[in-house]
Amino acid sequence: MTRVGLAATAAYLPERWMTAAEVAAASGIPENVIVDKFGLRGKHIAAEDEHVSDLSVRAAQTLLDESGAEPESIDVVMYYGSMWKDYSVWQAAPWIAHRIGASRAYAVEYDNVSCGTPVALRVARDMLVAEDELRTVLLVAACRESYLLDYGNERSRFMFNFGDGAVAGLLVKDGGRNELLGCHGLTDGSFSLQVKVPSGGSVSPNGGYRFLDVADPSSMKEGLDEVSLPNFVKAAEGAVARSGATLADIGYVCGIHMKPSMHRALVAALGLDESRAAYLDDTGHMSGVDPLLALDRAARDGKLADGELVLLLAAGTGYTWAASVVRWGEWR
Query: Which of 112-126, 205-219, 244-258 has the lowest average pLDDT?
Result: 205-219
- State the burial class of residue 203 (Cβ atoms within 10 Å of its Cβ: 0-12, 13-18, 19+): exposed
Of the pLDDT bands very low, low, confident and very high (cuts 50, 70, 90), residue 324 is: very high
User: What SS3 class is residue 247?
Assistant: helix
Residues facing residue 180 across a β-bridge = 326
Q: Are 261 and 85 in contact (CB under 8 A)?
A: no
Q: What percent of the chain has pLDDT over 90?
A: 95
Report d(CA 324, CA 27) in Å as an integer: 35
Residue 176 above 90 pLDDT?
no
**Residue 225, C-beta contacts closer than 8 angstroms, at least 6 positions apart:** none
* Superfamily (CATH) of domain 180-330: Thiolase/Chalcone synthase (3.40.47.10)
Integer Cα distance of 236 and 277 in angstroms: 14
- Residue 260 has a pLDDT of 98
The alpha carbons of the chain give a radius of gyration, in whole angstroms, of: 19
For residue range 267-321, list pLDDT tens digits in order: 999 999 999 999 999 999 999 999 999 999 999 999 999 999 999 999 999 999 9
Q: Where are the domains of the chain?
A: 4-175, 180-330
Tens-place pLDDT, residues 58-101: 999 999 999 999 999 999 999 999 999 999 999 999 999 999 99
CB-based contacts of 19, cutoff 8 Å, min separation 6? 41, 42
At residue 264, the pLDDT reads 98
Predicted pLDDT of residue 207? 81
CA separation, residue 63 to residues 6, 43, 259 (Å) = 12, 22, 30
Confidence of residue 255 (pLDDT cuts 50, 70, 90): very high
Residue 223 DSSP symbol: H
Closest to 168 measured CA to CA, from 293, 4, 329: 293
Q: Is the pLDDT of residue 208 over 90?
A: no
Can 4-175 and 180-330 be said to share one CATH topology?
Answer: yes
- CA 67 to CA 57: how far, in whole Å? 15
Beta bridge partners of residue 253, listed in sequence order:
277, 311
**Class of the CATH-defined domain 4-175:** alpha beta
CA nearest neighbour of 298 among 11, 4, 5: 11
Q: Which of 255, 253, 296 is nearest to 13 (CA)?
A: 296
